[in-house]
Amino acid sequence: MQKSENQIFNYGRAICYSGFRDGQQPGFLSPTYEQVKEDLFILKDHWQYLRLYDCDPHSDTVLEVIQKEGLDFKVMLGAYIVAEKNNSGCPWGGNNYTEKELLTNAIKNKKQIEKLIKLANKYPDIINALSAGNEACVDWTDHFVPVEKVIEYLRLIKAGAKQPVTFCENYLPWVGNLRPLAKEVDFISIHTYPVWEYKHIHEAIEYTKDNYNLVANAYPDTPVVITEAGWATNSNGRGIESHNVSERLQRIYYNDLMEWTDREEIITYVFEAFDESWKGSPHPLEPEKHWGLFKMDRTPKQVVRNLTNRTVKS
C-alpha cells in the first residue's frame, strides 16, 4: 500500500482521551482542571492529536487546559449522539426506548451538534476536526441513529463550522449502509479491533491492515483515518477471551500498529490513554475498563513504560 496522497491533516501520533477517574463518569462527576492538566502533561510529549468524544463539561475543561497552559495539541471533537430509533440487533438493550424518549433524544442530539459548532468556532486553533457521532449506525449499537439523520447533522456542522467533518464508526459499515454518508464527510473514520473479533496476536496487525485497506480501497479519493485501534489488558471472558489479553500483548500490538502507521503515515488514534473504571459492567475485569496505555492511577503499563518514570501516588 502506498502512503496516502490526500491526508486530511499532517501526520502525527494520535490518542483517544477520556479522563474519568474512580467515582467519576459522564453525566455526573467530571475530572477537575488540575486532573486534566496532569493527564495532558503525561501525554503532551508523545502524542500530537487528541480525540474527545462528547461536548460535555469534561471536554470544556480539556479545551480550557490546552488553551491556558499553551499545550500543542490538536483536537478532534465529537458530538455524542444518542438513540433516535430502537435497534433490535443490540444484544445488551438498545430496543427498549419509548417514543417519548426517542423524541427527547433527538432534541438532545440537536443541542449536541449546536454545542459542537459553538466550541469549534471558539477554539479554531485547537480543534482541527469534528465528528458528528460515534458508533451510532453499526448493527449492534445501543444508541442507533439512522444514516439519513446523521447526514442531516453532518450538513449542519459543515454549514456552521470551518473544520473538516467526519463520523466515527466501525470499519465494516463504511462498505455497507454508510455509503451515502461517505459522500458527505471530508474524511472517513474507522474503528478496528482484532481482539474483539477473536483474532490472536500473531494475526492482529494483518487483520487491522485488511480492515483499513477494505475501506481505503473502496474510497480512493477520500482520506481514511483510524479513530480507534487498541488492545485490552484484562477481560472477564465476556466478548474477549481472557487468555488473549495482557499488558504484553497490548505492547506487541501497539508496537506493530505504530511501526505500520508511522511508515505509511496513516493517522491512528490509539484507544485509549487511560483505563476508565466507569465503563461496561461492574465486574472488575470487564474489558471495557482496561484499554488504557496507562492504568487508572496514571502509572504506565508495559507498552509505555519507557516514556515515563511515574510511580504510584501514595
Overall number of domains in the chain: 1
CATH number at residue 81: 3.20.20.80
Compute the average pLDDT of residues 49-67: 98
Q: Please check whether residue 212 lies inside any domain of the structure.
A: yes
Q: Please check whether residue 209 lies inside any domain of the structure.
A: yes
User: Residue 90 and residue 287: Cα distance in Å, rounded?
Assistant: 18
Q: Whole-number mean pLDDT of the chain?
A: 94
Q: Please check whether residue 249 lies inside any domain of the structure.
A: yes
pLDDT of residue 126: 98
pLDDT of residue 8: 86
pLDDT of residue 6: 57
β-pairing, 188-192 vs 224-229, is parallel
User: Residue 127 and residue 116: Cα distance in Å, rounded?
Assistant: 10
- The tens digit of pLDDT for each residue in 79-138 reads 999 999 999 989 888 889 999 999 999 999 999 999 999 999 999 999 999 999 999 999
User: Residue 126 and residue 75: Cα distance in Å, rounded?
Assistant: 6
The dihedrals phi and psi of 187, each to the nearest 5 degrees, come to: -155, 155
Q: 213 and 182 in contact (C-beta within 8 Å)?
A: no
Q: Is the pLDDT of residue 1 over 70?
A: no
Burial of 4 (0-12, 13-18, 19+ CB in 10 A): middle
List, in sequence order, every beta strand (DSSP E) within 79-221: 127-134, 165-170, 188-192
Q: Please check whether residue 9 lies inside any domain of the structure.
A: no
Q: Please check whether residue 2 lies inside any domain of the structure.
A: no
Indicate the pLDDT class of residue 308, thresholds 50, 70 and 90: low
pTM of the model: 0.95
Q: Is the pLDDT of residue 309 over 80?
A: no
CA end-to-end span of the chain, whole Å? Answer: 49
pLDDT of residue 313: 38
- The tens digit of pLDDT for each residue in 150-159 reads 999 999 999 9
pLDDT of residue 312: 35
Q: Please check whether residue 144 lies inside any domain of the structure.
A: yes
Q: Please check whether residue 1 lies inside any domain of the structure.
A: no
User: Residue 120 and residue 130: Cα distance in Å, rounded?
Assistant: 8
Compute the average pLDDT of residues 232-254: 96
| Domain around 228 | 14-307
Question: How many C-beta atoms surround the C-beta of residue 255 within 10 A?
Answer: 12
Q: Is the pLDDT of residue 311 over 70?
A: no
- In this structure, the chain runs to a length of 314
pLDDT of residue 159: 98
- Percent helix, strand, coil in the chain, to 5, is 40, 15, 45
Q: Please check whether residue 5 lies inside any domain of the structure.
A: no
